[in-house]
Amino acid sequence: MDGVTVNEAAADINNDGTVDLLDSVILSRYIAGWEEYKVYFAI
């Protein structure tokens, strides 16, 4: 995509070194309120 930049460190939700579908699934489930996925976003 022209003109789009992605902060890969922020997009790699599970911190496995790649931005992939699993990161998207984790983020989607967190947004949907799945309790098990809140650990990825604990501060």
User: pLDDT tens digits for 1-43?
Assistant: 578 888 998 999 999 999 999 999 999 999 999 999 988 888 6
**31 inside domain:** yes
- Let me know: does 33 contact 40? Beta carbons within 8 Å: no
**1 inside domain:** no
**21 inside domain:** yes
**2 inside domain:** no
Distance of CA 25 to CAs 2, 3, 5, 9, Å?
25, 25, 21, 17
Which amino acid appears at position 5 of this protein? T
**How many structural domains is the chain composed of?**
1
Which amino acid appears at position 30 of this protein? Y
**17 inside domain:** yes
pLDDT at 22: 96
**12 inside domain:** yes
**25 inside domain:** yes
Q: For residue 31, give its domain range.
A: 8-41
Q: Which residue has the tokens 């983020």?
A: 27
